[in-house]
Structure 1
Amino acid sequence: MLSPIPHLNILLVEDNLPDAILIAKHLSKIEKPRLSLCHVSTCREAVRCLEEEKFDVILLDLSLPDSFQLDTVKKISAEAENTAIIILTGLDDEKVALDSLREGAQDYLVKNEINSTVLKKAICYAIERKKQVRHLKHLVDILLDSNRKLEDYARQVSHDLKQPLQTILGSGKLIGYLEENAGEKTRQLLNMLVNSAEKMSDMIEALLSACRVGGEDEKEWLDCERIIKEVLELLGEQIRAKGAKITINFPAKFRPVMVYYNRVQLERVWQNLISNAIKYVPEDRKPEVAIAAEKHQNQWLFMISDNGIGIKETDYEKVFLANQRLSEGEKMAKGSGMGLAICKQIIEDNGGRIWVQSSIYQGSTFFFTIPTRS
């Protein structure tokens, strides 16, 4: 509350003199804390005052002769990013109020509803909100810095671990080529060595990807079908080796399907889902993967269906947990157990959700949503 603060410096930006006099009168009735008031009538004068003096609160009219509504808020907020701003207006306009708050103001008062009690309460709450915003910004800065350090560390650890791994992997394969006459036991041990090294390499990549997810926030408009086709090119070797058939069925009337997303994250989601759909298919059939999309009121719904081994209903939630590999899938393909956990983290961080429906030995359909953006 304001009582512990002995003195507040207030800047009143108001071009209507009768309104300014009335607000000053209301402020004079506030006994604690002691207030100092500086009055200017233009945005230009306000900026100059803010450059020369520190203020605790700005009472800001939205209809100034040299600036208007949100432009005024933007200019003053940019000049006084650490100062609480209370908007004053003669209009009871909820949209203007909300827009002002988004641009950096802490409160909004209609002039004909103002009295000393209302002003004191508004000033109190505005200062407290601004303190909380500054504190949250400080915490965000700390978290972002920690995330950058974590990513740098993960990248370095990944690099340091992968160098000896590649040596082990290369040596194991080379010994296998050289020892054509090696006994069955030797070949089994070599295969175990190579498979373990490849699995460890996959795990390192997956852990590095998990560290990167939180640090990728740059978004852009993306053509989802184009992203999928780029991912299919990356998975070309896996697709050819398995003889997989991939179909994309997006509604013609909504093409191109545009989403506002981080490119790297969207590629990672599609790559993990498509790769899994190809990977976990019984040996007696060729993978068939169908990708579809539906437009709903406020989101896109994407579906990726396969003809794989399927997932038990009791495991629907478990597949999205980190380091979880179901026994049926583990027999068929090696992996890190991180792919779907990373997909879930990315999708939920972007306001969507992901789930699965499946039939054992018939196939699975993974669903995920991306909110639409106007």
Structure 2
Amino acid sequence: MPADQLDRDALLAPYDVDGALDEPDLRSVAALASHVCGVPYAVVNLISEHFQHQVAAVGITPAVCAREDAMCAVTIETPEPVEVPDARADPRFAANPFVTGRLGLVRFYAASQLRSPSGAVLGTLCVFDEATGELTDAQRHALDLLAGQAVAALELRRAYRALTATTRDLADARDELERSNSQLAAFAGQVSHDLRNPLAGVVGFLELLADHPAVDAGPAAGRHVSRALAAAGRMREMVDDLLAYARVGGTLRVGRVDLGELLREVLDDLPPGTLDAAQLDLGVLPPVRGDRTQLRAVLANVVANAVRYARPDRRLVLRVRARPAGDRWVVEIADNGRGVPPARREEAFALLRQVHEPGTVDGGSGIGLATCRRIVTAHGGTIALDDGLDGGTTVRITLPSA
């Protein structure tokens, strides 16, 4: 776009120019331009909608002037390099206040455009003198090269400011996340405490009622009490799961974790007989870098889901494999259970979300996979679902290598 049609304030906004500057790197470029061209004055200018900002200068103090008074405001709209031996004889500059004596007595003037990586003209690198003169071909070429160096310095300044702002935003986000996690854990702990006490009372009274002779006399009443006890047990499990979910994301106690040993512990802790009929195909699992307690929770949830969602018409098969991937390990835990439809696999990681139709299976709380994702993400890894064995599910986890 032609320079006179650009929104110049928006163009210069990322460079954070408001008034005159005196950037050391740009001053060095101006000093080289002055020396190479053999003139006493050199200026790096950025031109906004209404002003010329001298961001570095040699021979004068950087200042700001109105754009209509700036000789370089003409230069940014000229496609070829500008060189004027005597500005009084050039109709573009003869009436300019920097030539007439109102603001200066410029005679010789030469400038190269400062073009951003996108090609937009930001301003100029100009050299001038109060005596007439001209540049050699070598000087002209050097001035153009130095204009490129001025742009590089401006881009470095812009990138540094952007990086500083991003770092500050990330630090603020980290602080907010830590505060939020702390509040979530405290809230969940309080809710857990407030729910456990009345829930324990409900369970206690239901157990007393189950042992009451009147219940023995009424089979329907017995069934109702059994269902109530089961519901209370599920509620207690949900409270425990919520508390575990809320606590994820705090400080990790990171160390070397043997996943093979951890998986054996998880399998040993299952209720007796859970896997008696199952076919286990456990490959060699590697050591990884992580928090042992939290990674144990991940494996426990995945194995529990494989058991919970096993198909009643077939023998449960559980296959575990691991393979290296750069500085990480990919762990795959596959089963031949009910599986998760591809369209709902990401949804399965949402908190309190059940992806199987109600009544088709005695599902969990809908918190386990959400907890797994929080834990794995806190370790800098990933977790996803894929096709399993014979229509089942594969849980794929990546974790940092030890």
Under a length normalisation based on structure 1, what TM-score does the superposition of the two structures give?
Answer: 0.61
Return the match for 1:166 from 164, 181, 200. 200
Q: How does 1:250-261 map to 2 (within 5 A)?
A: 250-251=283-284, 257-261=286-290
- What is the aligned partner in structure 2 of residue 85 from structure 1? none
CA distance in 1, matches of 2:332, 2:31: 64
2:384 is aligned with 1:354: yes
Residue of structure 2 equivalent to 1:42: none
Which amino acid in structure 1 is aligned with residue 257 of structure 2? L
The alignment yields a C-alpha RMSD, in angstroms, of: 3.9
Q: 2:55 aligns with which of 32, 35, 38?
A: 32
Contact 1:8 1:33 in 2 (8 A): yes
Residue 392 of structure 2: aligned partner = 364
Partner deviation per Cα, 1:235-273 (whole Å, 9 max, x = no partner): 2x2x4356354635324xxxx612223323321221111
8 A Cα contact 2:338 2:393, kept in partner = no
Q: Provide closer, same or farther for how the CA distance between residues 328 and 150 of structure 1 changes in structure 2, counting only shifts above 3 A.
A: closer
Consecutive unaligned residues in structure 2, runs of 5 or more: 1-14, 34-41, 45-53, 59-145
Q: Is the 8 A contact 1:316 1:355 kept in 2?
A: yes
Number of aligned positions between the proteins: 281
Which structure 1 residue ranges, 5 or more long, are not aligned? 13-20, 36-111
Instruction: Report the CA distance between 1:118 and its aligned residue.
Output: 3.4
Match of 1:154, SS state, is helix
2 CA distance for matches of 1:368 and 1:209?
Answer: 22
Taking the TM superposition and a 5 Å limit, the aligned residue runs for 1:1-374 are 1-4=15-18, 25=31, 31-32=54-55, 115-179=149-213, 181-235=216-270, 237=271, 239-240=272-273, 243-245=276-278, 247=280, 249-251=282-284, 257-282=286-311, 287-296=316-325, 299-311=328-340, 316-325=345-354, 330-347=359-376, 350-358=380-388, 364-373=392-401
- In 2, Cα distance between the equivalents of 1:174 and 1:286? 38
Q: Which moved more, 1:286-295 or 1:192-201?
A: 286-295
Question: CA 1:117–1:192 in 2, change beyond 3 Å: closer, same or farther?
Answer: same
- Whether the 8 Å CA contact 2:43–2:56 is kept in 1: the answer is no
Q: More deviation in 290-299 or 130-139?
A: 290-299
Shift in Å, 1:310: 4.8
Bigger radius of gyration, 1 or 2? 2
Structure 1 pair 123/230, CA: closer, same or farther in 2 (3 Å)? same
Mapped to 2, the partners of 1:317 and 1:120 lie a distance apart of 44
Structure 1 residues 216 and 25, CA, compared in 2 at 3 Å: closer, same or farther?
Answer: same
Identity, % of aligned positions:
24
Deviations 1:80-138 (A, max 9, x none): xxxxxxxxxxxxxxxxxxxxxxxxxxxxxxxx999555334423432342133123212
TM-score by length of 2: 0.58
Aligned to 1:59: none
Are residues 25 and 297 of structure 1, via their aligned partners in 2, closer, same or farther at CA, if it must alter by over 3 Å?
A: same
For the structure 1 residues 249 and 241, does the alpha-carbon distance in structure 2 shift closer, same or farther, using more than 3 Å as the test? closer
Is contact 1:29-1:116 (8 Å) kept?
no
* Pair 205,121 (structure 1): closer, same or farther in 2 beyond 3 Å: same
C-alpha separation between the residues in 2 aligned to 1:208 and 1:224? 24
